[in-house]
Chain A
């Protein structure tokens, strides 16, 4: 059962690593489906993480942490929205600015308050999200095969993980079965059609940007309140960009986005697991090579193996009423 155990361990860790990717990827999906390109996911993960660390540290309450993390990310999202929607700025430039401001500001403020090089103090247990045990996890856990899957893959995650997985069918349903979803898909493709149908392009895009802020904020909150229990500068570590790659990979669709993020999370877990393992003939596994796999995979697969990934036609283009 050695390999099976190892598989369960790697897979469970893969799920944990995939959660912020899933949330950030869905955030990007909402934003870009409405026509607002969001390259600032990376920075917003940091803002969410920092906000939640500050909230939880000062109040000692996990919910206050969650609220502050999400709220501060939504504010950053709205800044990007204002630049992109009302000011018709270049969305790549605005997103890059968000990334830079977020990276610098979180480190600066963190250092100014706690003077630990930007690191925030370790959070006590009650200021973190605990794991949720499913009923009879321990009892079922002893059943071979099914038991460990139930106990360690399905059960035993924290609230945000379950929310993240729930967001996928929810996003799918909202996009394809609701009025809001139809309008959102339309506005990312041809805002003029939405406008002439008597619907406000601006309101749609702002709602999408807010939804994006909430989701990507949760990704940051997860890093602090569910995983590390403290904030540290640059702790997003490229997850926002990986999420963007996953979004392209998934061609802006929710279920493929989930699959892609799980794949990337799993590869990440594998890299950690294989650290220091000796392979016959090769010797120690070059961990860097496996760590690079998600990036390599993205580049290679995007270069033609998944077919053409066509973004929403109007994404990145500010809407200007034409005469």
Chain B
């Protein structure tokens, strides 16, 4: 496809882009050429500079040095308005929508076509209908945006860009918020856009999406553009290598499991969400010492509620939880008591439930155990002991920088996650509940975290792993159960199944027919 560009100048050429934020060199002499009418992927770890680069292209920042060419012409882009004028549209990871307004109003915002709304509204309504027909991007213009599904909201974002006449569409990690079905729809949409000669820049850190969708791919690492490939001529291992700059093992080395006694058992567990809807509808399973049980499923199928119920954060409304064969009394169903009897919990969302962002790292590292003797006596804390304890944990888990007094929010996602893991694992729990351990974590840290989880298993701990990343489930689990709609749709051994089989179970196709 790319050769058809022929003599036409590239849609975008970034030449020698350089940008620093104080001491942080976010982009170093970055060069990027995106040909017209292709889907161009950009991959890199978190903090590699992808978002900064795109923010420069969209006029959020001005580069310290370098040149931007759109269609071969050198341009200066100092604001979003100028980027829009040059035909650049951006779909942000966190949508730039106004939830209480209608789709029409959201699309109009900034492109009203006059001081009064009525005429512009008619024109844009017509344009939306046209775009709906042309690209299959139908959406009700009078729907309230806040009431639409995430997938449809993203569609509104794309429509916003197209209505403004975008020829170049930049999408920043667009699948992070989508269900697999919605992601497939998005890919289909992008292919249609490409066939209409639009140029698409697709930022992600998921290699599978790069392989499935893009024509070319550029890799960023620590602020530099390290390589560009034709997608058909590269492979995930090669891309992963380029991203981290060394060989990474996508498959983790682990020996066979030696399951022991049953450590945790759930019997017909029913859990309701805040609105009273049953999200877990009678789930039973056992978890043995020395094994990792993976719970797979599309996000939102009850895994979160199940994990919260097991950790004592959410009340269950039916069924039993047994720990070491003894039913867990209702009075004990709280994080404090569960921690005391040896249940460690790494919550799914470290921002919401795992850490207090404005706290110093050493304070975050004692959360949940703050009453323990280690940290002081009576009402008073021993600050030296707190710092020493945090320092030890940070050393053991290679948290960088190893600075117990740094604010939690100032660590990268991977290091924050390591801090949570350090806190829970260093307490030596018998049962470890882990939710999405590598969400928003870069590849280097993923490898480290995976090794630690396997090490826990090898030390005879019972590990429950909830993850929406199939790769992770495959890499770590000794046994996999699949949840769909709050029910177990199947149980597998990782070496006796494949992604397609699990995908069917995740879609609710119960037990194989054959």
A: residues with CB less than 8 A from B are 176-183, 185-186, 189-190, 192-199, 313, 321, 323
**Whole-angstrom distance between the alpha carbons of A178 and B117 in the complex?**
5
Find out whether the CB atom of A179 lies under 8 angstroms from the CB atom of B116: yes
Find out whether the CB atom of A190 lies under 8 angstroms from the CB atom of B97: yes
**Whole-angstrom distance between the alpha carbons of A178 and B119 in the complex?**
11
Q: Beyond A178-B117, A196-B80, A197-B80, is A189–B99 a contact (Cβ under 8 Å)?
A: yes
**B118 interface contact, C-beta 8 A:** yes
Chain B residue numbers with a CB within 8 Å of A181 are 117
Find out whether the CB atom of B112 lies under 8 angstroms from the CB atom of A192: no
Find out whether the CB atom of A196 lies under 8 angstroms from the CB atom of B96: yes
Chain B residue numbers with a CB within 8 Å of A185 are 98, 100-101
Chain B residue numbers with a CB within 8 Å of A199 are 81, 109-110
Chain A residue numbers with a CB within 8 Å of B21 are 323
Known: A176-B117, A189-B101, A196-B92. 12 other contacts (CB 8 A): A177-B116, A178-B117, A179-B117, A186-B109, A194-B110, A196-B80, A197-B96, A198-B79, A198-B81, A198-B84, A198-B110, A323-B55
**Whole-angstrom distance between the alpha carbons of A287 and B478 in the complex?**
77
Chain B residue numbers with a CB within 8 Å of A323 are 21, 51-52, 55
**Whole-angstrom distance between the alpha carbons of A180 and B112 in the complex?**
10
Q: Beyond A196-B92, A196-B96, A197-B96, is A183–B109 a contact (Cβ under 8 Å)?
A: yes
Chain A residue numbers with a CB within 8 Å of B96 are 190, 192-193, 196-197
Q: Produce 1/0 per residue, B135-157, CB < 8 A to A.
A: 00000000000000000000000
Find out whether the CB atom of B108 lies under 8 angstroms from the CB atom of A182: yes
Report 6 cross-chain contacts, Cβ distance below 8 Å, ordered by A residue: A177-B118, A178-B115, A179-B112, A179-B114, A192-B96, A193-B98
**B60 interface contact, C-beta 8 A:** yes
Find out whether the CB atom of B81 lies under 8 angstroms from the CB atom of A186: no
Chain B residue numbers with a CB within 8 Å of A192 are 96
Q: Beyond A198-B84, A198-B110, A321-B60, is A179–B98 a contact (Cβ under 8 Å)?
A: no
Find out whether the CB atom of B60 lies under 8 angstroms from the CB atom of A198: no
**Whole-angstrom distance between the alpha carbons of A220 and B264 in the complex?**
70
Q: Beyond A197-B96, A198-B79, A198-B81, is A186–B115 a contact (Cβ under 8 Å)?
A: no
Most buried by A among B90, B92, B110: B110
Most buried by B among A181, A186, A194, A313: A186
Find out whether the CB atom of B98 lies under 8 angstroms from the CB atom of A178: no
**B105 interface contact, C-beta 8 A:** yes
Chain A residue numbers with a CB within 8 Å of B105 are 182, 186
**Whole-angstrom distance between the alpha carbons of A192 and B52 in the complex?**
17
Find out whether the CB atom of B100 lies under 8 angstroms from the CB atom of A178: no
Shortest A323–chain B CB gap in Å is 7
